[in-house]
Structure 1
Amino acid sequence: MIQYRIEVADAHAHRFLVTLRLDKPQPRQQLSLPVWIPGSYLVREFARHLSPLKARQGTRDVTVTQLDKATWEVATSGTATLTVQYEVYAFDTSVRAAFLDASRGFFNGTSVFLKAHGFEDQAHAVKITSLPKGWQVATALPAAKVNEQGVRDYLAPDYDALVDHPVEMGTFWRGEFTVRGVRHEFVVAGATADLDGQKLLGDTRRICEAQINFWHGRKKAPFDHYVFMLNVVEDGYGGLEHRQSTALICGRKDVPRVDRPLNKDAYTTLLGLISHEYFHTWNVKRLKPVEFAPYDYSQENHTRMLWFFEGFTSYYDDQFLLRTGLIDAATYIKLLGKTVNQVLSTPGRLSYSVAQASFDAWTRYYRPDENTANATVSYYTKGSLVALALDLALRELPASGKQHPSLDGVMQRLWQLGRPITSADVAKALADEAGRYPQGLQVKTGTPVEQAWQTLLDKWTEQCEELPLQHLLDRLGVAWSCKAAPLPQKWGVRVQDNNGAAKVQAVMRGGLAERIGLSAGDELLALDGWRVRKADDLTAWHDAKRAQPLLICRDQKILTLNVPALDGKATAKGAATAGHSSDVVTLSLADVAQAPDKLARRQAWLQA
């Protein structure tokens, strides 16, 4: 057995002390720390936060040699127990690493637990000790014991399980509920005393119950304990999935408070995050791509399927808010329209497929810069629209038996495979669910149904073809209308308002802003002689009928650019060249009272 002892060594210095004990080590025992954490696709070099390793066998010091950035070798003598000790600097407030101060502690196993090579499949015991007075511990790791001195003992069956159970420590709010025999804990750190925990528990419970029913019907879920760990901060948003828990972060404005007006939009965003991470309990933690079986913690694990594992999860997160009545249909359609506009305003979607974007997440999505919108597309947003398009394409097919085909059926077919999947598995599940060719796809006579769905799937994921969303939504009675976009979007520029200054964040490829010479980092000073302090000022001073001077500051130098006169044709041409939309799409529920087929399909979709 491998044993770890985690101590709060110095909260003010943000340091955990970790002691690793290994019985019967190998003659040249190698140890390593992961360079990334599953669910966040970037090499983060957690080992940079470790102090030098010290190793002993009995009373004798033994030599530790570092082999690379995250791997060490210990020259052991005999089979006496090896003890390795090191400190971990923990001051990352995100959900991905480790944090410690006088009020709160948190860690992911990938940041603190060295892996003992050759012993990965053995049981791993963890003892958490030296906690400040009054601190609690929350984790989904199975507890061996909790004694009166605050020493917590846990046991993981192997290294993968060990690092897939984050730990929250501190004086947090705690509540729980049980759904279908699964005990769910919810802990909240950093919230004000008037947190409406009962509302948070009640709404989360509805999401959990709906998702367990979605995946298992009346069968038992594959876990009996789940923990939500929410860190409430001044301003923040994010989450990271684990097999029996999730780490979340949100702003204080996002949480419900007793006897305070609820910020509905912000709270809906939080519930969507909770729904998203809980759905991952199945989609990516258990139903996973073949490239993740098993994980290689020493380097990037590339897959072309994040459009499925993140994108489809992003489609279902808001779907479950709708299905549980936490939002209404009008709100859901509004959220869907927001996603559509995010994708249409990204020129990279026309040159970079969502499958390629998935593969390159490590170097593009997780390392955004001023050119990201031109260089890639989000597998979250574009992937969710692929899910939407497939769901609607299935739902317009004739019923097979008592039920219309749907993406729900596809997900359940994939789950029943009980193994890691490929894109071909998704195509087969689509074909089996549909039982016929997708409508509108030209196929040769005799083409297998599965091949036809693979062709469609490749068009929407491996190629850059636009999704036929307007047509598919119209078939379900959802109206698609357009209005003129704000002036910066028409120009193909993203502007950030910052304390009375309007700074260019990004310039879209081929748009007007690029053609007149604007660059990221430029500060907009004046248009046509009138002061510009925020993006909206451009609209106030712009006259499309005549050329106007645009005064900017670049690297402390004042420059004058020329904004040409624009007519409708010129604007449309510029937008088409850029690949970003010069219009804003609005989705709404159309009046389909006289179209019973549309009404029936829409009701089935929105009340799935």
Structure 2
Amino acid sequence: MTPLAYQLSITDITAHLVAVELRFTPQTNDSILLSLPSWIPGSYMVRDFAKHLHSIEAFDDAGVLMVQQLDKQSWQLNHNQHPLTVRYKVYAFDLSVRGCYLDDQLAILNPAALCLEVKGMEAEPINLTVVTPECLDWQVATGLTRGRGTQAQNCGLYHADNYQQLIDTPLMLGKLDMAEFDVCGVPHYLVLAGHEQVDLERFKAELQRICLQQQQVFGGLPTDLKHYWFLCWVTDSGYGGLEHHNSTLLLLTHQDLPNTQRPDESTADYQNLLGLCSHEYFHTWWVKRAKPAQFLPYRLNTEQYTSQLWLYEGFTSYYDDLALVRSGLLTQEQYFAALEKTINRVQLSPSELVQSVADSSFNAWTKYYKQDENAVNAVVSYYTKGSLIALCLDALLRSQNKTLDALMQLAWRSYGEPALGSSEQQFIQLCSDYAGKDIASRLYSWVHATSVLPLAELLPHLGVATAKRQQEQSKDLSGSKAPTYPARAFGAAFTASAEGLKIVNVPLNSVAYKAGLMAQDQLIAINAVKATEQNFWRQLNQSKIGSVLNLHVFRKQRLVQLSMPVELAVETLTYLQLVDQQKAAAWLGKTQE
């Protein structure tokens, strides 16, 4: 069997162009359909990668072949049943983990955004050759299998079993730093590109602790995992990650990394990075192998709908920071602070009472991934509220001397490891079989209802109680320390600049809403005083309850005057209190089976 052969060549760095060559022998007399995915698994939004493809041409030994474009991402190719070649170029300047990027420092190549699929040959083995100018002296890091004669981290020949594996395996090219560590006998690689000073040994050691902790949840690594790659792309701005079957591509900044000059420092940025690594690694089981049945197989030319993202992304979000505290990388207090922020982001948003997490999952394509200024009122996050559903379920299970860890292992063995895919009903039924109909019924209601989760009722089973206090300002999301003075209510979010305070969103029924403030208003003065962030909070919090503040805003070039009543802030901010250290230790300690 002759594999499909792709060649990716770095040809014009200044123009950010990657030249792609595809060679294969047609297997039928029929015309051939070529297409490029419109989205990439794990990121539920149509990206239209084909918009960056141009100059497509095809030929065989007899000459040029006709290529006809059928739609935004598909081409029809007539042929003579001879071996043929397709050539085209792809513009690569997407500063994200989903597409392709090329400059004079590195290249990020996601085959999903580069390599055309040959209809009818999706299951054929693939050879991929990576070519760069010799003057670059770049290395290569990827989860693809190296071909014979290709040295480790060198350009050359790589293999994929099929097209699906190819597009699920990104490549990082550049001058790379790499560290290797072992998890249950499987080599893992930490690769960084674009960084300056970093404590690579510390980063490696702490990643290893996270990986060892996560595999305990599922009772071991996937049997088909032969190696794993953390591909870290360090930039001046940007943040995010995307999971793949044996790797993750992470976008981070210099500030996120541990510094060799401060070996004992653990910044909030670094803790967030470890949480991101933990999240993407958990997906190795929970999304890349265990996944919604609707994704078997992926159809990447159009949206694929599922109501289960609360389960796959939300439960992953629950376990990401949980793995950090269980592996000793977060203190109990730090974990509680992070959990408080999650709770308050959900509970302070009116959207929790408008949209269920099942609905949010199903409509991720058009709502969660395309949020506007009204999202605070209409779009609940299946990540954050999904993680709180996992928290509530874990607490409820532990009240019956059971654990979510054990339920996750059951799910993995039932349909994850055998790659069967799941329906929502299967997971609910599995929960019922494991813990009883009452617990399964409550889980179903949390997923489909638009109501507040019973945290105050359930968290004591984890040794934690909830309490309430006033929120001092919109950025105040955690901690038990109340404001030193009775805080005033406001509600709207804004960004500060030299021109004033730009209103980002206005929650329904907030004081800002009652005053008539609208998203995109530019607040320029409060009681005739220039609106700066400091002035705003001082004016508001020093004003007498029941008085009125005069606001001046620019609204689409019009000067508008508004009156805002001064109201006492209600105690809406949740914080956590430890009430039973033994229960908390059982929850936050080693994984229980």
Query: Could you say whether these structures have the same fold, taking a TM-score greater than 0.5 normalized by the shorter chain as the test?
Result: yes
2-side partners of 1:106 and 1:6: how far apart? 12
Structure 2 counterpart of 1:242, from 241, 244, 248: 244
Q: How far off its partner does 1:56 sit?
A: 0.4
Contact 1:488–1:535 (8 Å) recurs in 2: no
2-side partners of 1:173 and 1:293: how far apart? 36
Contact 1:25–1:80 (8 Å) recurs in 2: no
Q: How far off its partner does 1:146 sit?
A: 4.4
The percent of aligned pairs where both chains have the same amino acid is 37
The answer for the alignment partner of 1:460 in structure 2 is 446
Query: Which letter maps to 1:34?
Result: P
The answer for the alignment partner of 2:467 in structure 1 is 481
Query: Which letter maps to 1:411?
Result: M
The answer for the alignment partner of 1:578 in structure 2 is none
The answer for the alignment partner of 1:584 in structure 2 is 573
User: Judging changes above 3 Å, is the alpha-carbon distance between structure 1 residues 460 and 356 closer, same or farther for their aligned structure 2 residues?
Assistant: same
Per-residue CA deviation, residues 276-325 of structure 1 (Å, 9 max, x unaligned), is 00000000000000111100010011110000110000000011101111
The answer for the alignment partner of 1:445 in structure 2 is none
Structure 2 counterpart of 1:305, from 293, 308, 318: 308
In terms of mean alpha carbon deviation, does 130-139 or 55-64 score higher? 130-139
Query: Which letter maps to 1:222?
Result: D
Q: How far off its partner does 1:457 sit?
A: 2.0
Task: Output the aligned Cα RMSD.
Answer: 1.8
Query: Which letter maps to 1:212?
Result: Q
The answer for the alignment partner of 1:431 in structure 2 is 432
Contact 1:254–1:267 (8 Å) recurs in 2: yes
The answer for the alignment partner of 2:525 in structure 1 is 526
User: Judging changes above 3 Å, is the alpha-carbon distance between structure 1 residues 565 and 9 closer, same or farther for their aligned structure 2 residues?
Assistant: closer
User: Judging changes above 3 Å, is the alpha-carbon distance between structure 1 residues 347 and 112 closer, same or farther for their aligned structure 2 residues?
Assistant: same
The answer for the alignment partner of 1:110 in structure 2 is 112
User: Judging changes above 3 Å, is the alpha-carbon distance between structure 1 residues 565 and 139 closer, same or farther for their aligned structure 2 residues?
Assistant: closer
Q: How far off its partner does 1:213 sit?
A: 2.8
Q: How far off its partner does 1:216 sit?
A: 2.6
Per-residue CA deviation, residues 157-177 of structure 1 (Å, 9 max, x unaligned), is 111101000000000211111
2-side partners of 1:536 and 1:61: how far apart? 70
Q: How far off its partner does 1:497 sit?
A: 1.6
Q: How far off its partner does 1:24 sit?
A: 2.4
The answer for the alignment partner of 1:316 in structure 2 is 319
The answer for the alignment partner of 1:158 in structure 2 is 162
SS at match of 2:211: helix
Contact 1:181–1:224 (8 Å) recurs in 2: no
Counterparts of residues 48-87 of structure 1 (less than 5 Å) = 48-77=51-80, 79-87=81-89
SS at match of 1:311: helix
User: Judging changes above 3 Å, is the alpha-carbon distance between structure 1 residues 150 and 213 closer, same or farther for their aligned structure 2 residues?
Assistant: closer
User: Judging changes above 3 Å, is the alpha-carbon distance between structure 1 residues 565 and 17 closer, same or farther for their aligned structure 2 residues?
Assistant: closer
Structure 2 stretches lacking a partner, 5+ long: 476-488
1-side partners of 2:44 and 2:108: how far apart? 20
2-side partners of 1:333 and 1:499: how far apart? 36
SS at match of 1:457: helix
2-side partners of 1:211 and 1:68: how far apart? 43
2-side partners of 1:268 and 1:140: how far apart? 26
2-side partners of 1:276 and 1:105: how far apart? 24
1-side partners of 2:575 and 2:155: how far apart? 56
Query: Which letter maps to 1:552?
Result: V
Q: How far off its partner does 1:25 sit?
A: 4.5
Contact 1:410–1:433 (8 Å) recurs in 2: yes
The answer for the alignment partner of 1:469 in structure 2 is 455
Contact 2:140–2:154 (8 Å) recurs in 1: no
The answer for the alignment partner of 2:334 in structure 1 is 331
Task: Please say if 1:395 is aligned against 2:381.
Answer: no
Structure 1 stretches lacking a partner, 5+ long: 398-403, 437-448, 573-581, 593-598
Per-residue CA deviation, residues 245-278 of structure 1 (Å, 9 max, x unaligned), is 0000112111011123635211110000000000
Structure 1 counterpart of 2:17, from 15, 18, 26: 15
Per-residue CA deviation, residues 445-492 of structure 1 (Å, 9 max, x unaligned), is xxxx3xx44422221011112110111113333132222113569322
2-side partners of 1:346 and 1:145: how far apart? 55
Contact 1:330–1:589 (8 Å) recurs in 2: no
2-side partners of 1:395 and 1:549: how far apart? 52
Query: Which letter maps to 2:339?
Result: L
Contact 1:176–1:183 (8 Å) recurs in 2: yes
Per-residue CA deviation, residues 215-244 of structure 1 (Å, 9 max, x unaligned), is 234x77431111110011123210000000
Structure 2 counterpart of 1:380, from 380, 383, 393: 383
2-side partners of 1:363 and 1:357: how far apart? 10
2-side partners of 1:138 and 1:481: how far apart? 48
The answer for the alignment partner of 1:271 in structure 2 is 274
Task: Please say if 1:167 is aligned against 2:140.
Answer: no
Contact 1:495–1:502 (8 Å) recurs in 2: yes
2-side partners of 1:240 and 1:102: how far apart? 24
The answer for the alignment partner of 2:588 in structure 1 is 606
Per-residue CA deviation, residues 114-152 of structure 1 (Å, 9 max, x unaligned), is 000000011111011134432000000011134479541
The answer for the alignment partner of 1:195 in structure 2 is 198
2-side partners of 1:253 and 1:154: how far apart? 34
Counterparts of residues 529-548 of structure 1 (less than 5 Å) = 529-534=528-533, 537-542=536-541, 543=543, 544-548=545-549
1-side partners of 2:274 and 2:154: how far apart? 33
User: Judging changes above 3 Å, is the alpha-carbon distance between structure 1 residues 407 and 92 closer, same or farther for their aligned structure 2 residues?
Assistant: same
The answer for the alignment partner of 1:575 in structure 2 is none
The answer for the alignment partner of 1:411 in structure 2 is 408
Q: How far off its partner does 1:426 sit?
A: 1.4
The answer for the alignment partner of 1:286 in structure 2 is 289
2-side partners of 1:146 and 1:68: how far apart? 40
Contact 2:346–2:385 (8 Å) recurs in 1: yes
2-side partners of 1:138 and 1:171: how far apart? 10
User: Judging changes above 3 Å, is the alpha-carbon distance between structure 1 residues 146 and 533 closer, same or farther for their aligned structure 2 residues?
Assistant: farther
Query: Which letter maps to 2:11?
Result: A
Task: Please say if 1:501 is aligned against 2:520.
Answer: no
Structure 1 counterpart of 2:211, from 182, 202, 208: 208
Task: Please say if 1:555 is aligned against 2:559.
Answer: no
Query: Which letter maps to 2:587?
Result: W
User: Judging changes above 3 Å, is the alpha-carbon distance between structure 1 residues 374 and 453 closer, same or farther for their aligned structure 2 residues?
Assistant: same
Per-residue CA deviation, residues 539-597 of structure 1 (Å, 9 max, x unaligned), is 4345233122111111222111011243x5xx65xxxxxxxxx622111323x4xxxxx
Query: Which letter maps to 2:282?
Result: F
The answer for the alignment partner of 1:517 in structure 2 is 516
Query: Which letter maps to 1:584?
Result: L
Q: How far off its partner does 1:396 sit?
A: 0.6
Contact 1:330–1:588 (8 Å) recurs in 2: no
Q: How far off its partner does 1:52 sit?
A: 2.9
| Number of aligned residue pairs | 565
SS at match of 1:51: strand
User: Judging changes above 3 Å, is the alpha-carbon distance between structure 1 residues 346 and 82 closer, same or farther for their aligned structure 2 residues?
Assistant: same
Q: How far off its partner does 1:212 sit?
A: 2.1
2-side partners of 1:64 and 1:476: how far apart? 63
Contact 1:33–1:47 (8 Å) recurs in 2: yes
Contact 1:459–1:465 (8 Å) recurs in 2: no
Contact 2:139–2:155 (8 Å) recurs in 1: no
SS at match of 1:363: coil
